[in-house]
Amino acid sequence: MSDLKQLTMLQMVVVFISSMIGIGIILMPRDLANTVNSQDLWMSIIFGAVAVSVVSCLYVALAVRYPGLTFYEMSTRILGKFMGFTFNFFFTVYTLIVAAYILRVTGGIIKNYLLDTTPLSVVIGTFILVSMYLIYNGAGDIVRFFQLYFPIMMVMFLVLCLLSIKNFDINHVRPVLQNNIWSTISGVKITFFSFLGMELLLIFAKLIKKKKAKHLLMTMWTSIGLTALIYVVFHIISIGVLGVEELKEITFPTIEMAKSIEFQGFFFERFELIFIFGWLTTAFTSFTAYMYALTLGLKNMFTPSRWFLPVAGALIFTLTLIPEGLTEVFHYSPQIQLISVAAIVVLPGLLLIVSLIRGNTYAA
């Protein structure tokens, strides 16, 4: 049974980082290279982290004013039953779309590099079932799982970075600031969405008590900063190993970077498997966080039922199988980004504005 009553600051950092690092570390290098077209594209991640840090103030302000309440409970308390239901419905749809997007990309990578003859439905079905098993007992088990596997993920990423240094060419990352600074800043429209997961503070807020809320902003900024550091390191290494021109052409540059690692006479040759296995854990944690948010949304909008977890799984499974290939999946990215902006910026912003106008708060 899940008996976790509140999150410690360390657990919050682990949950936020585990939710943010997902498919972004795989897809962002190519998108960023095509957008910025410069060796210092990694600086766009820093600008994106700053933008995300500003937006995170919305979530912290809401969590402080309504301690112990989730987004779904805050919206009905602030806006009333009807408008609150509307906001909750939109946010629930957002979590469904993001969960399906994460799973479809993850399934495509598993098919390409590990299980090429396994039907996609089996791959994503297994992912969903394992996630449902983890979610069944509530947020406590989810947090403990994240906390257990977080060090393993970090060790695998560190190993890949160290092994890649052999192929690193410093000339690939120079010069810095060759392009106009506005070109680098334009990459924020890519990097911002690689920090998706920060908004789940409003989902796990149930486990954040009022006495912890005063440290919440620093906890959020620490999580965003560490995530940005991981992204920056991986991008600098990717540029140094592959170069900007190759990043533009390769669909999954980070995996190809791992494939380039070679040590003659070493008993293990496929080093990309080290990265893929580590990355799959991050993809799973990110997906599980959104599936949990989806399930919680369904329970809050309708009469609570034990059937909402399999309903959430069925919805994700159906939506994930709609695109015929990854090319079609990537075609939907601009629309998903627009929906994301509405869900993680506009909705919380409106809730905070209305709350401030009405002057209502909640004492846990």
Please name each of the domains of the chain with its CATH number: 9-358 (1.20.1740.10)
Q: In the predicted model, is pLDDT for residue 143 greater than 60?
A: yes
Work out the widest C-alpha separation in the chain, in whole angstroms.
70
Q: Which two tokens stand for residue 346?
A: 């506009």
Tokens 């779309």 correspond to 97
Are 64 and 217 in contact by the 8 Å Cβ rule? The answer is no
pLDDT band at 215 (very low <50, low <70, confident <90, very high): confident
Q: How far from each other are the two terminal CA atoms of the chain, in whole angstroms?
A: 24
Cβ-based neighbour number of residue 325 at 10 Å: 11
> For a pLDDT cut of 90, what percent of the chain falls above it?
26
- Mean pLDDT lowest among 35-39, 54-58, 343-347, 352-356: 35-39
Residue 1: the pLDDT is 42
List all residues 6 or more positions away from 46 whose beta carbon is below 8 Å from its beta carbon: 228, 232
Residue 292 has a pLDDT of: 93
Cis check for the bond before 175: say yes or no (omega within 30 of 0).
yes
Do 104 and 305 form a contact (C-beta atoms < 8 A)?
no
212: nearest Cα among 2, 57, 3, 10: 10
pLDDT at residue number 319: 93
Q: Examine the pLDDT at 228 and tell me if it is beyond 80.
A: yes
Share of the chain above pLDDT 70, in %: 91
- Bigger pLDDT: 325 vs 270: 325
Spatial distance between the Cα atoms of 25 and 235, rounded to a whole number of angstroms: 9
pLDDT at 23 over 90: no
Q: Is pLDDT above 80 for 267? A: no
**Residue 152 — very low, low, confident or very high, per pLDDT cuts 50/70/90?**
confident
Confidence of residue 219 (pLDDT cuts 50, 70, 90): confident
d(C-alpha 288, C-alpha 309), whole Å: 12
| pLDDT at position 148 over 80 | yes
Give the pLDDT mean for 327-331. Answer: 86
Distance CA 109, CA 107 (A): 5
Q: Which of 60, 346, 49 is nearest to 224 (CA)?
A: 49
> What is the rounded average pLDDT of the residues 189-203?
88
**What pLDDT is recorded for position 317?**
94
Number of CB atoms found within 10 A of residue 125's CB: 16
What pLDDT is stored for residue 181 in this prediction?
Answer: 77
Our measurement of the distance from residue 203's CA atom to the centroid of its chain's CA atoms, rounded to an integer in Å, reads 14
What integer best gives the mean pLDDT of the chain?
84
Q: Are 256 and 242 in contact (CB under 8 A)?
A: yes
